[in-house]
Amino acid sequence: MTPTRILAITGVTRGIGRSLVASFVAAGHTVHGCGRSADALAELCAEHPGAHTFTAVDVADSAAVEAWARSVLASGPAPDLLINNAAIINAPAPLWEIPAEDVERLLAINVGGVAHVIRAFVPAMISAGRGVIVNLSSGWGRSTSPDVAPYCASKWAIEGLTRSVAQELPAGLACVALSPGVVDTDMLRLCLPDTAAACDGPDAWAERNAAYVLALDASHNGQSLTAT
């Protein structure tokens, strides 16, 4: 029987994050998730009662992230798996046509949010001597396209942040960047609706990849991986 593991995931109210929650819970693991939609969080609490928790957190707010981490860590052991999934994308346009506040908000969530979550949880994971950090990247973190410059910049940053953190971690822990590939999510529909329509959705993606994510270990430290 697979031992129960403790997972902390950001961005669980929709898309890949929400589908991963369902797959992880079905496999018998304990999930602590956060997101910004109060209605979706209430639905998750109703769908997954028991030891699981789903909390309203804006990952761009370091104080809110720290409060969430304190609550999770007070409830039990440090996470075995920490998944930085929360992200947004800009409305497609050339960079000079995108409002400054939109660029700043995107970077605050996609890059700052990841840094806040790592800072809040990883000291406890280091103390426990185990754990894997998975930072959701993108094909646009390893290549570029027009009209999504802020998003590309954020995901290229995630690739660099991941490799640097991997060098900072002690033995027994890992930090990896994971590109999910092409999935029919709200973000992809905004940018590439025709492509999105031809792809599997988050539920099918999670069914294929939840076990793959759970199998990541210290041997994967510093790697840039791509899901199936």
Summarize pLDDT for 155-201 with one digit per residue, the tens: 999 999 999 999 999 999 999 999 998 777 777 677 778 777 777 88
Phi/psi-derived region of residue 147, left when phi > 0, alpha when psi is between -120 and 50, beta in every other case: left
On whether residue 47 sits in a domain, the answer given is: yes
On whether residue 58 sits in a domain, the answer given is: yes
On whether residue 33 sits in a domain, the answer given is: yes
How many domains, the chain?
1
The answer to whether residue 151 is catalytic is yes
On whether residue 186 sits in a domain, the answer given is: yes
pLDDT digits (tens, 9 = 90+) for 134-159: 999 999 999 999 999 999 999 999 99
Does the structure show a pLDDT above 60 at 1? no
Catalytic residue among 54, 121, 140, 151: 151
Kind plus residue range of the DSSP H or E element containing 140: none
**What is the C-alpha separation between 12 and 136, in angstroms, rounded?**
13
Does the structure show a pLDDT above 90 at 131? yes
Show the domain range for 172: 6-226
pTM above 0.75, yes or no: yes
pLDDT for residue 180: 93
Both tokens of residue 218? 């210290």
Query: Which DSSP category does 34 fall into?
Result: E
pLDDT for residue 193: 80
On whether residue 134 sits in a domain, the answer given is: yes
pLDDT digits (tens, 9 = 90+) for 6-59: 999 999 999 999 999 999 999 999 999 999 999 999 999 999 999 999 999 999
pLDDT for residue 188: 67
On whether residue 75 sits in a domain, the answer given is: yes
pLDDT digits (tens, 9 = 90+) for 74-122: 999 999 999 999 999 999 999 999 999 999 999 999 999 999 999 999 9
State the chain's maximal CA–CA distance in angstroms.
54
On whether residue 63 sits in a domain, the answer given is: yes
Residue 98 belongs to domain with CATH number = 3.40.50.720
In the chain, count of helices (H) and strands (E)?
9, 7
On whether residue 1 sits in a domain, the answer given is: no
